[in-house]
Structure 1
């Protein structure tokens, strides 16, 4: 479980790290004052979620994910589709908070899907923090349980166990998950996620002298090597993207690391040599930034073309709202247009026809349109 960084071949890593940093920073600077920034960010959430499922061997159709997110499913959602929607929600949540939220106590608790003890491994409570509130009185004369004290007691136990594990001591396995009601038939009860999470977090702090992008690549490699969580391997990509945002490399967006990894052969990402894997992660970051730049320029051109069609329209026209909706979603359906713009079905079809959107599904029913 331990991840040893050791001596890094900087002469091999510094070149890919600089190229990845340059690409990510260029994309971030392009987005600062971009008129399509908000739409671009929303679209990338969907693309990264689909790529995350593809990497673990699951196929999720982009249009199904968009409809699931809008609660307009065409069919019963599959397990893979539900997980992809979870990726979208967690990316939105991480981007909506402060830069240092995701790797803090509350952020890690929420993003990793763990109980209250998970994030506490990374950020122990400070002295005097969270003092129990004064007793408000119990009408039945029975004292209320001090839940805060119990939580801090469990945090202390986890920290103690993690310290002993990292020190190399023999620690007996747990017989039941702590702070967690998950079924033992689905989860290995001996899999100490708290200790693994503590070890992974130390990888980020162990080499603070390295460039942020190189530290992010090491964190990605450590996440897969340590196998932090039994379920949700994609969470590591979201956390590392949040780390890049925290360090200011991608201050105005959340990097689509899964989109970049999708363009790197699996043989490189899962190579037997650590240096080869880290270089592959750095190249994936560069590919993610390059794909983001292409998508941004494509959206910018599409926005200019669509706005040309708005000239001379009445001030009460709903076409500007439809343009905003199309730019923020990979695909739109008539039901989505009806719901967002408050028009009839025929009105939605007329608006879509006015903008000349491309039909993407090729089906007679449940059609969807988008920008090509």
Structure 2
């Protein structure tokens, strides 16, 4: 068990500035130039061999809506906050980029935003989280099929990052660690969420919480069936008695989790969900499991909505969520990213008055009339002396 320490928050990060690269200079030098076989990690993107399957959804430019009217275009603003919480080391990190077309010199041919956000919850050290955070966006953006075949590109990028980190760990065993990963892209009106592990993304649609990811816990039926089908087992909620997540990147040093091809009970393949944003979509909360240990999804949306109505600042809202999680005694590292889809704060919701429709049958009317007549008759009888 780790020794607990006093809490300490990182500086707030907002849309006005992109957060710095989470890797320090020593680790950057260690990660630079690593090859996967004949494929350099910092060079040309090669499709992961496990993804030779049919294409899924794509993102196409949207120029006009129904009746020739302009489509709704979201306006993205973001902010983030982190806190070490009641832990000895900070192993979580995040990524915020409100305009990857500018940051990555990407030619965005459609209207609307081109944004990328991510939360990475490390375990057994921070190296895997740092590596994936620094390389996953590039692996996605530099793929020739992005953004047209976005689900296939994202899945490939996750697996490429996992394989690349395995190669790094063979050269330096001190880097051995693992991480969950949740990546969010906003391309025009399309919201795409890819998740490996138990971080969570929750959308507020006019105050209603919509979960855009599934927690990958070993005890969940679907994950348990997949684990057992690949030779693993679940013991007291832990994968092979060791991990409390069913999917993660890294962890190559743990026996029985993955073979040399990355196949095994511990999967690095993300679940990808897509939604078309509308005028009713207000903001998205992306958080590590330390947040969701003490917040239900709807509770987090209600709390964040009130705060955004007060100050309309996604960075301050992220800090509010972290501070509240600490008050609720979350004992994990904490990372939150809040992404707003409108320049205005969420509107106040009018609660409609309930309209009660009353009806009574003819038989009921007759019974009621008989009861009233009997009361009238009794009142007409003179009192007995």
TM-score by length of 1: 0.30
TM-score by length of 2: 0.29
| Structure label with greater radius of gyration | 2
Higher helix proportion (structure 1 or 2): 1
Higher strand proportion (structure 1 or 2): 2
